[in-house]
């Protein structure tokens, strides 16, 4: 019996050890807003309703979770650069919306700004009790009018009077969620270009959970070229990356009272690349505001398997497969640092 046990032990030692291969698949979160032909949000979609390609390669969409009205579901709140996901972490109820007004007293721009300030109550009318709105402006520097708040009376007063009639007073940080808590006033005073302001806003929003919306009432940015086009400033790329990292979509509402102007290209580019949209407001502002309401209603958090390709930047294309409509989503993300 002892010999039998000893022989079995020797055989066990001679057998090669067993290894279990474990493949870690990196995933991205792609925030996708689906709108129908009228600009209304399309709800009730599943992962099979979306097609995502990364660098031209089809990527499997594992889940599609609706976050928004009528109720937000559980979804991971990590930034898109994270390598692993835990879908059990809930998103706080309510939306985080930043209203940014690009101010200029040029005639065509001032008329458009005043018109949109009068119509901004339509944006507030679509809010739910759990939503939080912060109001900022930019002329020669970034100015803070209010931290995230759900105080409708305060928001109305700023939009209908304060923004044009007086300067902002010092703002104390609100209870969570707070924009002001992470926004250095000295840094805000030294944002001499709108691109710098966008970068600072993105960096400040990054720690806050979930997808955020930045509504930019502006007249544009970039530099005119000799050929009549627009070249983006060197610091634009840093601003775009900060907004994408913060899961912040830019919805640009062009306040310029003109059918066309060269600086609108900057508004178009930043909106397309961050998963928002661009719209003119000088003729049919109601259409632009309806589309905005549809985009702000909610989004789908898509958990997508990332192809095993290492490159500095990944191009992303998101489409609907079984429904007719328009998808708003980021067009590129950076490779996460190791």
Instruction: For residues 66 and 130, state if they share a domain.
Output: no
Q: Which domain holds residue 214?
A: 96-297
* Mean pLDDT of the 149-165 span: 93
Q: Is the pLDDT of residue 1 over 50?
A: no
Handedness of CA 124, 64, 32, 324 (dihedral sign): negative
3-state SS assignment for residue 155: helix
Residue 164 domain-assigned (yes or no):
yes
Residue 8 domain-assigned (yes or no):
no
Instruction: For residues 251 and 321, state if they share a domain.
Output: no
How many whole angstroms separate alpha carbon 236 and alpha carbon 194?
9
Instruction: For residues 293 and 173, state if they share a domain.
Output: yes
Instruction: For residues 308 and 284, state if they share a domain.
Output: no
How many whole angstroms separate alpha carbon 181 and alpha carbon 186?
13
pTM, two decimals, is: 0.85
Distances from the Cα of 80 to the Cα of 15, 28, 148, 175, 177, angstroms: 44, 5, 23, 26, 20
* Lowest model confidence (mean pLDDT) among 48-57, 72-81, 222-231, 321-330: 72-81
Instruction: For residues 61 and 190, state if they share a domain.
Output: no
Mean pLDDT of the chain: 85
* Mean pLDDT of the 36-63 span: 95
Q: In terms of pLDDT, which residue wins out, 78 or 92?
A: 92
Q: Is the pLDDT of residue 81 over 60?
A: no
Residue 45 domain-assigned (yes or no):
yes
Q: Is the pLDDT of residue 238 over 60?
A: yes
Residue 15 domain-assigned (yes or no):
no
Residue 117 domain-assigned (yes or no):
yes
Q: Is the pLDDT of residue 6 over 70?
A: no
How many whole angstroms separate alpha carbon 328 and alpha carbon 96?
18
Instruction: For residues 103 and 149, state if they share a domain.
Output: yes
* Lowest model confidence (mean pLDDT) among 12-26, 86-100, 197-211, 242-256: 12-26
Contact 297, 314 (CB under 8 A): no
Instruction: Say what the pLDDT of residue 215 is.
Output: 97
Instruction: Say what the pLDDT of residue 297 is.
Output: 94
Instruction: For residues 40 and 153, state if they share a domain.
Output: no
Those residues with Cβ within 8 angstroms of residue 96's Cβ, 6 or more apart along the chain or in another chain: 131, 132, 134, 148, 177, 205, 208, 210, 212, 213
Q: In terms of pLDDT, which residue wins out, 141 or 83?
A: 141
Instruction: Say what the pLDDT of residue 25 is.
Output: 60
Instruction: For residues 233 and 318, state if they share a domain.
Output: no
* Lowest model confidence (mean pLDDT) among 27-31, 63-67, 87-91, 269-273: 87-91
Residue 141 domain-assigned (yes or no):
yes
Instruction: For residues 78 and 195, state if they share a domain.
Output: no
Instruction: Say what the pLDDT of residue 184 is.
Output: 85
Q: Is the pLDDT of residue 24 over 80?
A: no
How many whole angstroms separate alpha carbon 247 and alpha carbon 46?
21
Instruction: For residues 184 and 258, state if they share a domain.
Output: yes
* Mean pLDDT of the 88-110 span: 78
pLDDT-derived band at 90 (thresholds 50, 70, 90) equals very low
Instruction: For residues 304 and 226, state if they share a domain.
Output: no
Instruction: Say what the pLDDT of residue 79 is.
Output: 38
Q: Is the pLDDT of residue 91 over 50?
A: no
Q: In terms of pLDDT, which residue wins out, 107 or 173?
A: 173
Instruction: For residues 315 and 293, state if they share a domain.
Output: no
Instruction: Say what the pLDDT of residue 182 is.
Output: 94
* Mean pLDDT of the 125-137 span: 92
Residue 175 domain-assigned (yes or no):
yes
Instruction: Say what the pLDDT of residue 222 is.
Output: 85
* Lowest model confidence (mean pLDDT) among 6-15, 210-219, 281-290: 6-15
Instruction: Say what the pLDDT of residue 2 is.
Output: 42
Q: In terms of pLDDT, which residue wins out, 231 or 330?
A: 330
Q: Is the pLDDT of residue 83 over 50?
A: no
Instruction: Say what the pLDDT of residue 16 is.
Output: 56
Q: CATH number of the domain that 156 lies in?
A: 3.40.50.410
Residue 263 domain-assigned (yes or no):
yes
Contact 332, 61 (CB under 8 A): no
Structural domains of the chain, count: 2
Q: Is the pLDDT of residue 57 over 90?
A: yes
Strands 212-218 and 248-254: parallel
């Amino acid at each position: 019996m002892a010999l039998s046990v000893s022989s079995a032990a020797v055989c066990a030692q001679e057998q090669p050890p067993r290894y279990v291969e474990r493949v870690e698949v990196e995933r991205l979160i792609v925030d996708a807003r689906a709108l129908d032909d009228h600009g209304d949000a399309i709800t009730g979609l599943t992962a099979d309703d979306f097609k995502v390609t990364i660098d031209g390669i089809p990527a499997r969409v594992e889940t599609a979770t609706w976050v928004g009205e009528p109720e937000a579901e559980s979804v991971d709140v990590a930034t898109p650069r994270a390598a692993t996901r835990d879908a059990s972490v809930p998103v706080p109820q309510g939306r985080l919306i930043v209203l940014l007004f690009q101010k200029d007293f040029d005639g065509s721009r001032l008329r458009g700004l005043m018109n949109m300030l009068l119509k901004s109550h339509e944006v507030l009318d679509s809010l739910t009790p759990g939503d939080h709105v912060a109001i900022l402006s930019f002329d020669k520097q970034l100015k803070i009018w209010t931290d995230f708040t759900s105080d409708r009376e305060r928001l109305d007063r700023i939009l209908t009077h304060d923004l044009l009639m007086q300067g902002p007073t010092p703002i104390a940080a609100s209870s969570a969620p707070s924009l002001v808590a992470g926004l250095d006033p000295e840094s805000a005073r030294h944002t001499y270009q709108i691109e710098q302001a966008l970068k600072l806003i993105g960096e400040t929003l990054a720690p806050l959970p979930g997808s955020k919306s930045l509504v930019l009432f502006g007249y544009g940015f970039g530099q005119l070229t000799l050929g009549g086009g627009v070249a983006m400033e060197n610091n634009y790329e840093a601003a775009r990356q900060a907004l994408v990292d913060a899961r912040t979509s830019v919805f640009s509402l062009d306040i310029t009272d003109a059918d066309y102007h060269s600086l609108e290209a900057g508004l178009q580019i930043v909106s397309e690349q961050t998963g928002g949209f661009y719209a003119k407001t000088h003729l049919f502002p109601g259409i632009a505001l309806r589309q905005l309401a549809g985009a702000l209603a909610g989004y789908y958090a898509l958990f997508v398997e990332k192809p095993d390709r290492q490159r500095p930047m990944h191009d992303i294309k998101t489409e609907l497969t079984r429904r007719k409509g328009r998808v708003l989503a980021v067009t590129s993300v950076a490779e996460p640092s190791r």
